[in-house]
Amino acid sequence: MRFDKYPKNWRVKGGQPLTEMDKKILFFQNKGHLVPSPDLIKTPEQIEGIRKSGVINTGVLDLVASEIKEGMSTAAIDKLVYDYTMDHHAIPACLGYEGFPKSCCTSINEVVCHGIPNEKEILKPGDIINVDCTTILDGYYADASRMFIIGETTPEKKKLVDVAWECLKIGEETCKPYCFVGDLGNAIAKHAHKNGFSVVRDLCGHGVGNEFHEEPEVEHYGKKGTGMLLVPGMVFTIEPMINMGDWEVFVDSEDNWTVITDDELPSAQWEHTFLMTETGVEILTH
C-alpha cells in the first residue's frame, strides 16, 4: 500500500493550528527524512481497537503455548488458532490473505517464516518452531509471534532462539519518539552479529492496525538516522528473523509461501505489535 507524503500544506489543514508534533514532523521532513503520513498516526479510538485485538491475539498464542508438544501436527496448531479466534468473535488475518490457506504460520527449524500448517508435519524433539498469529477484531489488526522449543534442543539452537528474543527486546528499547527505523535496525543487527548470527534482509516488520501491512517497512538492519521517523501514535511490528548461518533465503517454489534459509541452517523469530508513546513503546500483544 502506498501513502502520500506528509502534506506540505498541513499547517492549514482544517484551519487547525500546528501541534508540537506537526512542527517536529515538518522539521524532519524539511531535513529530507522520510516521515509518516497523517493516516499512520492512530486516533485514540483506533489504538483502543488494536489493543483489544491484541488481547485476543495474546490469548491465541497463550493457548498454543499451553498445548504445543512433540507428536502434534502443525495443522493441529492451526485448528487451535482458528477455533479460539472464531470463539472470540474475531478473524484470523492470515486465512485467505493473498491466498494463504491457513489461520497462522508455523515455521520449523530452517523455515524462516510463512510456513503453512500441514497434517503431515509432526513436531519432534529438538525442533524449534515459530507460530505467527494475526487477529482481526472489529476491523483492527494485531500481529505477534513466538518461538517454541520442542523437548530438548541443541545448545546452538537454544542460543539462536534466545538471541532472536534479545534482538526483539533491543529493538523495543531503542524505540523512542522521534527516532528512526534505522536506529532500531542498527541495534538489532549489531546484537545478532556480535553473537555470530545474521539478520534476514528480504522480510521486515511493518506498520499495522488498520490494515495487516502498512507503512513503514521496519527493517531489522541498517544505518542510524535512516528509514521513517517514528512518532507517538504510530503502531508497528518489530519481528527480527535471525539466522544461524547466512542471511540469504528463498521461497519454496511448490507452495510460493514457505521462506527457507539458503544454507538450510535454522532461523528464529519473535514478533510484537508496538504503540509508540511519548516515552517509548508499549507492547499491544501481551
Residues near 260 by beta carbon (within 8 Å), at least 6 away in sequence: 110, 111, 112, 249, 250, 251, 252
Q: Map residues 123-162 to x or -, x wherever contact with Co ion holds by CB under 5 A.
A: ---------x----------x-x-----------------
**N residues, the chain:** 286
The DSSP-derived string for 132-148 is EEEEEETTEEEEEEEEE
Helix (H) or strand (E) holding 268: strand 267-269
Q: Specify the pairing of strand 214-218 against strand 205-207.
A: antiparallel
How many residues interact with Co ion (rule CB under 5 A)? 5
**The one-letter amino acid at 276:** M
Is residue 214 a contact residue for Co ion (CB under 5 A)?
no
Using the contact rule CB under 6 A, the part of the chain among 23-31, 78-86, 90-98, 219-227 near ligand MF3 is 90-98
Is there binding between residue 239 and ligand MF3 (CB under 6 A)? Answer: yes
Q: CB-based contacts of 110: which residues, under 8 Å, 6+ apart?
A: 260, 261, 264, 265, 266, 267
| d(C-alpha 141, C-alpha 125), whole Å | 33
Q: Closest CB to Co ion among 247 and 270? A: 270
Report the 10 Å Cβ neighbour count for 177. Answer: 18
**Binding status of residue 78 toward ligand MF3 by CB under 6 A:** no
Going by DSSP bridges, is the β-strand pair 259-261/281-283 parallel, antiparallel, or unpaired? Answer: unpaired
**DSSP character for 25?**
H
Instruction: Provide the mask over 178-217, with x wherever binding to ligand MF3 is found by CB under 6 A and - wherever it is not.
Output: ----------------------------------------
Contact range with Co ion by CB under 5 A, out of 180-188, 193-201, 236-244, 277-285? 236-244
What are the cell numbers at 195?
553473537
Q: How far is the CB of 21 from ligand MF3 (least distance, A)?
A: 27
Is position 110 an interface residue for ligand MF3 (rule: CB under 6 A)?
A: no
Q: Which of 97, 165, 178, 195 binds ligand MF3 (CB under 6 A)?
A: 97
Residue 4 contact, options ligand MF3, Co ion, none, Cβ 5-8 Å cut-off depending on partner type:
none
- For the bound state, the minimum distance from the C-beta of residue 100 to ligand MF3, rounded and expressed in Å, comes to 3
Is 219 one of the binding residues for Co ion (CB under 5 A)? no
Q: What is the dihedral of CA 21, 42, 7, 1, to 10 degrees?
A: 140
Interhelix angle 181-194/155-174, nearest 10 degrees: 160
Q: Is 114 in the site for ligand MF3 (CB under 6 A)?
A: yes
Q: Which of 58, 237, 261, 269 binds Co ion (CB under 5 A)?
A: 237
Interface with Co ion by CB under 5 A: which residues?
132, 143, 145, 237, 271
Interface with ligand MF3 by CB under 6 A: which residues?
94, 97-98, 100, 105, 114, 132, 134, 143, 237, 239, 271
